[in-house]
């Protein structure tokens, strides 16, 4: 049974590549989708398509329109959602995607470091399971096929 | 027409009291609900009910269970959701509640300071409207009755 | 049985007042809600709340945010929707509200003049019933209580 | 990931062919569906199937029945909806399809000329993104795969 | 706890009056709604509102539009549906309402004479319960309060 | 685009074979599903699986359980529903399936002879389109691909 | 804010009376509904209404029809569900009601003794919160109002 | 038409293997999914992934998180659910899965021995059909293709 996994979360480390590589090594029939990982492109995509905007607030809103359409299309196609929180940044998109997954009844695996237990406690409580590493998340996915 | 408004967001300032007082002054038929505003109680409610837990992770999860049940009951009863972000803290509960409101088709008013435009841009783009002050949010609510 | 009726459609004639008055005369237990009927206010509400916007496109988008939140709140509360098309203007909000009502399984009464039969034929076909006058729409509502 | 795109909107220019051709050139795995583009057939399909109707109102309603069934089947199959407004005509079907897409949580790209900003402002505000050209819409679709 | 009961089914006997009277005698907090019971009015309501139609097929379709709007409004308000089949007539409206109730997850009580067991077997199997008399249906409703 | 069509309705004539044959002749990418067409098997399937039942009412209920499971599986897989009424029999299963399709937002084509216009008027009004012959229904399906 | 609480679970002890009494003492605006607590009536209600059935399997099915209708009506009206498991009996109705509540997004409080931790672990994991005593469940409800 | 069948129920006998083998023998286009059948793995999977937990309650909750995610993914993919109850154990997971299937409108076949008629009567009444053997359940599945 092929499954599609949406990988929400920070785009500053290569955790998605690591997860994909290990899934291939284990021959799991998973395909992965996720947000735009090129940060500059993600910020500029609104102006790239619509042209220069009058100020940064409008520029950000234009970029968000395109990013949100992308997320909506791909998350609706997915069977499972993984949301990874790192120690830096606000990561409100990650929280937004995780909460949307919960509300849409998409099974959710949350990955977060030990240091974020307290501020993420309500979101963690609503996730199907919370783990600390990418390897653990992959174990959860692999268990579906065992 | 009476409406119920869920007030998600930070619990360290008195913005809810300000909003409620001004709604009364303008004689708007609104009632307000929201999360537990007593921060210590919110952290301890799990152990208050279930007794001492084996460690802080479990303690946090127990408290979250009760907080999340409360939020789920009250948000399902509400007609409009306001989510306020301040400049401090991760505020992932606020993001979780805002995203749940969007996904449930509850109309959402986002309040955030100018300094948070960029990190909140995707969430802001999916809200019905984003404003910067409690007064502006009240103007939006008042407009429903004009 | 009290019912709430959302009155979508043009705001340049007094058809809503006529409908409300006649409903009162017939002692029907109906209450009516609808869009902002003050056209200038409807266009300016974004800037009234958010301040001057950089250009007219952004000004229009700001106003629409508030108008759409209002519509979403009130239509979700309503049991029946009436959408009236007149001979002037594009009236795309009316079409948007009518189609939203159909998709939400809100019963829909369409009012349109004979001259608009052809361009409105698909929307008319999906409405529960299409009539030509406000009096006829009121007859449909009254029949619920007969 | 293959996606199906429903192309709502006017049928008097060849914008759909242009979009399809450019999608093929860019090797995007998209397939496109949409309304009947043969205007006469679209008007006559009711009588073609059911025989001559007693008057034009009934003829129009018969044609609409078949057109609406077609739209319902194809839109339910689609992952993204594009709705294009031109400067002529009432285009209420386009508005109906756009609003249905929004209400069904189908991601929506609105294309409209600068001259229609004001009358389309509420619909534009509810779309995921509004652009002015077919090329821009294609850029949005292409971004899903970048 | 007040409940609203939609009474689908034949309109040629006084079973609804009997049920209402007995519910009052037992002081059950029930209110009852249902289709138009004046058969001639039910057939003529389309022409009463829209004027003379070109033929009987169109006349029937016009009347059905108004009857279906009424049913949709009232069934959406109801907590329980009772559908009574008698020995005469096709009673396809009754079957339509019963099946709509099932699909909407409205609890359904089916009343039918012993002679109709076989032709109604699939519908009966999907109802919550099937009884033979109005008194039995009232017993089921009364049990909710016991 | 392949579509699955559920063929509800009477099982005493070969209308399904006719429709399937003509769809093949026109090379339409349709596949067809429907109820059990072997009438005796449809009546006996409960006892075939569960053994002899205590009386005919229970026998009928057992058979209905299996028939209804089959219908539920196949209708949930289908993109379009056709419901054909003939002049004989009560055909309440056909009405049940047609109403379920409407309530599930499955596009519905109703086929009924002229003699049944009046008793089927409410169901016909809620169908997407009503025709009189299998050929007409096929024309509607073919139009999706034109 | 008044809330309705459905009390699923065993009917052999007076836990519901205890909960109701304590809720009154604390002046919580709660009303409580639940299954038939008279065990004999719950077993006999099918035959009470429908008359003697051919065997015990059919008798049980008849009673279940009425009990399930009651549960469906009352659970759809409720805002929160409490499910209490005791140490005796299979209690599959309690599990059925608890799982239905979860799937319907009704907030669920599970009460079970320490001895049932292991066999109830998956259901407990999906509940909002699991407690061991009626007093703890009441604390959770009271917290909604704090 | 390929169908996916979720096999809920006890994991102590080889009923799933028997069912799969016989489905292959009859060349039915069915694929089967279900819970983890390795009991020890099912109990230990939480600690396998997350490491040693502070006590057995937390260990059980961790294991349940993974088991529930697996069930949610696979049941959402399935077209039919079979739930088998044996004579031993509480089997609350089986009841949970069966009730979830009912509430999600997944067709449900219940298998239970004669000895469990009474305690399972309400769940049995809500299933599409209840049988006593694996062979009977397979007959029901085979009937979909007859």
pLDDT digits (tens, 9 = 90+) for D122-132: 999 999 999 99
Return per-residue pLDDT of chain B as tens, 146 residues.
999 999 999 888 999 999 999 999 999 999 999 999 999 999 999 999 999 999 999 999 999 999 999 999 999 999 999 999 999 989 999 999 999 999 999 999 999 999 999 999 999 999 999 999 999 999 999 999 99
What pLDDT is recorded for position H134?
A: 98
- Cα distance from G55 to chain F (closest Cα, Å)? 8
Chain H residues whose beta carbon lies within 8 Å of the beta carbon of residue B54: 54-55, 58
Put the strands of the sheet holding F108-111 in their side by side order. F30-33, F3-9, F80-84, F108-111, F129-131
CB atoms within 10 A of CB B69: 22
* Cross-strand bridge partners of residue C130: C110
Q: How far apart are CA D134 and CA D128, in angstroms?
A: 16
Q: Does chain A reach chain C with at least 3 CB pairs under 8 Å?
A: yes
φ/ψ of residue B62, rounded to 5: -65, -45
Q: Looking at the partner chain, which of A131, A136, A144 has a beta carbon nearest the beta carbon of H73?
A: A144
Q: How far apart are CA H14 and CA H19, in angstroms?
A: 9
Q: Where are the alpha helices (DSSP H) in F31-115?
A: 39-50, 56-77, 92-103
Mean pLDDT of H85-89: 93
Say how many residues make up chain H. 146
Measured CB to CB, residues of chain E less than 8 Å from chain G are: 1, 3, 79-80, 105, 107, 109, 128-129, 131, 136, 139-140, 143-144, 146
What pLDDT is recorded for position A84?
A: 98
> Among H46, H57, H58, which would you mutate to test the B interface (most chain B Cβ atoms within 10 Å of its Cβ)?
H58
CB D94 within 8 A of CB D81: no
φ/ψ of residue C34, rounded to 5: 175, -175
| Segment F66-107, tens digit of pLDDT | 999 999 999 999 999 999 999 999 999 999 999 999 999 999
| Segment H129-143, tens digit of pLDDT | 999 999 999 999 999
Q: What burial class does residue B77 get, using C-beta atoms within 10 Å of its C-beta: 0-12 exposed, 13-18 middle, 19+ buried? A: middle
| Segment C46-93, tens digit of pLDDT | 999 999 999 999 999 999 999 999 999 999 999 999 999 999 999 999
Cβ contacts of F52 within 8 Å, gap of 6 or more: none
Cβ contacts of B27 within 8 Å, gap of 6 or more: none
Three-state DSSP class for residue D95 = helix
Nearest residue to H35 (alpha-carbon basis) of H62, H73, H2, H61: H73
CB E67 within 8 A of CB E42: yes
Task: Indicate the average pLDDT of chain C.
Answer: 97
Interchain pair E107, G45: CB under 8 A: no
Residue of B nearest to A99 (CA): B96
Q: CA B128, B134, B136, B140 torsion: positive or negative?
A: positive
Interchain pair E79, G76: CB under 8 A: yes
Measured CB to CB, residues of chain H less than 8 Å from chain B are: 54-55, 58
What pLDDT is recorded for position H44?
A: 98
φ/ψ of residue H118, rounded to 5: -65, -55
Nearest residue to B93 (alpha-carbon basis) of B24, B29, B12: B12
Query: For residue C129, what are its two tokens?
Result: 């019933």
Q: How far apart are CA F80 and CA F7, in angstroms?
A: 9
- Cα distance from E44 to chain C (closest Cα, Å)? 12
What pLDDT is recorded for position F139?
A: 98
Domain parsing of chain F, residue ranges: 3-35+77-144
Mean pLDDT of H49-60: 97
| Segment E59-98, tens digit of pLDDT | 999 999 999 999 999 999 999 999 999 999 899 999 999 9
- Under the banding of pLDDT at 50, 70 and 90, the label for residue E107 is very high
CB atoms within 10 A of CB G86: 17
Nearest residue to H8 (alpha-carbon basis) of H129, H121, H100: H100
- Under the banding of pLDDT at 50, 70 and 90, the label for residue F117 is very high
Higher pLDDT, C10 or H134: H134
Half-sphere exposure of A72 (CA within 13 A, CB side): 29
Q: What burial class does residue A91 get, using C-beta atoms within 10 Å of its C-beta: 0-12 exposed, 13-18 middle, 19+ buried? A: buried
Would you give the distance in Å from CA F4 to the centre of its chain? 13
Mean pLDDT of C15-32: 98
- Cα distance from F58 to chain E (closest Cα, Å)? 10
Measured CB to CB, residues of chain A less than 8 Å from chain B are: 56-57, 60-61, 63-65, 67-68, 71, 89-93, 95-100, 102-104, 116-126
> Topology of E3-35+77-144 in CATH?
Rossmann fold (3.40.50)
- End-to-end CA distance of chain D: give it in Å, rounded: 12
What pLDDT is recorded for position C58?
A: 97
CA distances from H131 to F40, F94, H15 (A): 21, 27, 14
- Under the banding of pLDDT at 50, 70 and 90, the label for residue G87 is very high
Q: Does chain C reach chain E with at least 3 CB pairs under 8 Å?
A: yes
Mean pLDDT of E20-39: 98
Q: What percentage of chain F has pLDDT greater than the value 90?
A: 97
- Cα distance from D54 to chain E (closest Cα, Å)? 7
Interchain pair B38, G146: CB under 8 A: yes
Return per-residue pLDDT of chain A as tens, 146 residues.
999 999 999 988 999 999 999 999 999 999 999 999 999 999 999 999 999 999 999 999 999 999 999 999 999 999 999 999 999 989 999 999 999 999 999 999 999 999 999 999 999 999 999 999 999 999 999 999 99
Nearest residue to H64 (alpha-carbon basis) of H49, H79, H86: H49
Q: How far apart are CA H57 and CA H60, in angstroms?
A: 5
- Cα distance from F113 to chain G (closest Cα, Å)? 38
Residue with tokens 């092929």: A2
Nearest residue to B84 (alpha-carbon basis) of B9, B16, B134: B9
CB atoms within 10 A of CB F97: 27
Q: Does chain E reach chain B with at least 3 CB pairs under 8 Å?
A: no
Q: How far apart are CA C15 and CA C82, in angstroms?
A: 11
Cβ contacts of A7 within 8 Å, gap of 6 or more: A16, A19, A32, A33, A34, A35, A82, A84
Mean pLDDT of C8-37: 97
Query: For residue H129, what are its two tokens?
Result: 């059909």
Q: How far apart are CA E40 and CA C92, in angstroms?
A: 39
| Segment C102-111, tens digit of pLDDT | 999 999 999 9
Residue of H nearest to A134 (CA): H49
């Amino acid at each position: 049974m092929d499954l599609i996994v949406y990988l929400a979360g920070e785009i500053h480390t290569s955790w998605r590549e690591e997860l994909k590589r290990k899934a291939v090594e284990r021959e799991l029939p998973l395909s992965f989708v996720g947000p735009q990982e090129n940060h500059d492109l993600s910020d500029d995509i609104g102006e790239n398509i619509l042209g220069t905007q009058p100020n940064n607030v409008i520029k950000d809103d234009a970029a968000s329109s395109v990013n949100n359409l992308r997320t909506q299309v791909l998350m609706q196609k997915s069977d499972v959602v993984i949301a990874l929180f790192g120690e830096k940044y606000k990561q409100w998109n990650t929280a937004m995607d995780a909460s949307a997954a919960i509300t849409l009844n998409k099974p959710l695996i949350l990955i977060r470091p030990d240091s974020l237990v307290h501020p993420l406690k309500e979101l963690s409580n609503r996730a199907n399971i919370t783990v600390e590493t990418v390897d653990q998340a992959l174990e959860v996915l692999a268990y579906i096929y065992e």
